[in-house]
Amino acid sequence: MRRPIVIPGRQTQGMAIIIVLTVMFGLVLSVFYQGSAAVLGPLETKYKVVVDAGHGGYDPGAITKQGVYEKEINLEMAKRVKELLEPAGIEVILTREEDIDYVPEGVRGRQSKKQADLNHRISLAAEAEADTLISLHLNATPSGRNTGAETFYYFDSEEGKRLAETIQQELIKVPGMNRRIAKPGDFYLIKNAPMPAVIVELGYISNPKEFARLRQSWYQDQLAQAVAKGVANYFGLP
Ligand SMILES: [Zn+2]
């Protein structure tokens, strides 16, 4: 009469041990998996980049004689850069995906509106804890003679400088591009962003020849690839 009592007891004990071991193994496995995914996971995104399409909404940016707004090409370029960065394992957040600005109601005056708009873009990048902020623009001069892409960093930021240089290094490889270098600047966005930030002026829409190229798909693609390659190089990604 003892055996039937003892054996079920042992079985219950054995089951309990198996359950405890399974749970422990599961815990160890999940910790190990999460740890390794954060460091090595090939499909995990390791970096986060905010790409800002300059201007938008009330603010057209530079305007060409033909009535094309800088803000339109900036947005197209931001979308292209995002498309190229994401397969490289970089999470991309765009500051805008349509023709909008971030000026709160009641804010008046050119300077105050511009500052409020930029503040929103900066806090968007800060809240996202982005590793870098890339603001895309097009340049313009009254003479229309200048051409070429150039990248600006805040003069006091070493990492900003390194980011600007890696991007500029790729931009000068674009067919037909001149050889400008990354430059220090004191612009509001790059000064106030809490992470390495750059302004990429992708070219001069005031120059008729460059403007014609800037509207073409193949050239936009070349520029987007250069920016994406520069950002990937900055992070040491292949
Ligand atoms: Zn601009």
Cut 0.85: pTM above it: no
Is pLDDT of 24 > 80? no
User: How confident is residue 103, by pLDDT bands cut at 50, 70 and 90?
Assistant: very high
Q: Report pLDDT for 45.
A: 72
Q: Report pLDDT for 29.
A: 47
Mean pLDDT for 45-57 is: 95
pLDDT, greater one: 37 or 67: 67
CA 31 to ligand 1 centroid distance, Å: 46
Q: Report pLDDT for 90.
A: 97
CA 127 to ligand 1 centroid distance, Å: 23
Give the neighbor-by-neighbor strand order of the sheet with 150-154: 90-94, 47-53, 132-139, 197-204, 150-154, 183-185
pLDDT digits (tens, 9 = 90+) for 171-182: 999 999 999 999
- Whether residue 122 contacts residue 186, with contact meaning beta carbons closer than 8 Å, is answered with no
Is pLDDT of 7 > 70? no
CA 16 to ligand 1 centroid distance, Å: 67
| Count of all residues that appear for the chain in the document | 238
User: How confident is residue 17, by pLDDT bands cut at 50, 70 and 90?
Assistant: low
CA 197 to ligand 1 centroid distance, Å: 15
pLDDT digits (tens, 9 = 90+) for 189-226: 999 999 999 999 999 999 999 999 999 999 999 999 99
CA 30 to ligand 1 centroid distance, Å: 47
CA 137 to ligand 1 centroid distance, Å: 4
* Pick from 189, 75, 65, 192: nearest CA to 138: 75
CA 138 to ligand 1 centroid distance, Å: 5
* C-alpha 227 chain-centroid distance: 10
- The CA distance from 65 to 103, in Å, is 27
Q: What is the CATH number of domain 47-234?
A: 3.40.630.40
